[in-house]
Structure 1
């Protein structure tokens, strides 16, 4: 027999976690409030698939996000789809921006880009403890003219 008393509470946690990811994408990545990153991530968070040169923990994440915002200062992230289970949220996204600053050794091209991807965030309590982002980096490099 199913315990129906548990279902609504669990559903609320899953929805709160999904909302937390959406708020982070908006406030930090789209608006550019890098200092707010700690509102969403534990200080000892783990980036499972870091960008080249990314340092550990919250400090490393904030440095990487600042570099990304400097390279694409007008970037805007849109959530296309989300799924949540247990303490994990999968978010499928698309971000758009104009390459106006150096990015991974590529000087500014002034090209507009559109990059799709997914991120799996694992929560401990109300904050993200680990994250695994998978982006179409090959497509991004082609749009920047770094690859054919």
Structure 2
């Protein structure tokens, strides 16, 4: 199961995050999934996750994610990633800057069966805000 879970996370990253097929999110997450560290304003469950992903894809429509490293044990997968994109739409009230960004982070996903039940994402949001000009460099 460990290798299958790692492959499922990579498939989600490729299909949903990089290719923008947000409607496929439910193929990877349970409807009552829990985001342990939600983004500001993120609602609960799958619907909240889909709304957040739609907002991210609107703000960074060309975003591409890549897996740098994965470690798995039992029902959990830790994925270290980098995503790149161009700020072309509203992002938490900030109008488009047309700046290119590169953001690193890690996510721990906990599986129940073949789908993710809980997730905890940590991203370098300070660097993101600096790259957008919203925080001092």
Normalization by structure 2: what TM-score? 0.99
Q: 2:105 aligns with which of 105, 114, 117?
A: 117
Counterparts of 1:42 and 1:93, CA distance in 2: 22
Counterparts of 1:91 and 1:106, CA distance in 2: 28
Runs of 4+ in 1 over 2 A off after TM superposition: none
What 5-or-longer segments of structure 1 have no aligned partner? 1-12
* Alignment RMSD: 0.3
Counterparts of 1:51 and 1:144, CA distance in 2: 17
Residue equivalent to 2:83: 95
Counterparts of 2:39 and 2:132, CA distance in 1: 17
* 3-state DSSP of counterpart to 2:106: strand
Residue equivalent to 2:14: 26
* 3-state DSSP of counterpart to 2:5: helix
Residue pairs, 1:1-148, within 5 angstroms: 13-148=1-136
TM-fit CA distance, 1:30: 0.3
What 5-or-longer segments of structure 2 have no aligned partner? none
Counterparts of 1:72 and 1:29, CA distance in 2: 11
TM-fit CA distance, 1:71: 0.2
TM-fit CA distance, 1:105: 1.0
Counterparts of 1:105 and 1:52, CA distance in 2: 11
Normalization by structure 1: what TM-score? 0.92
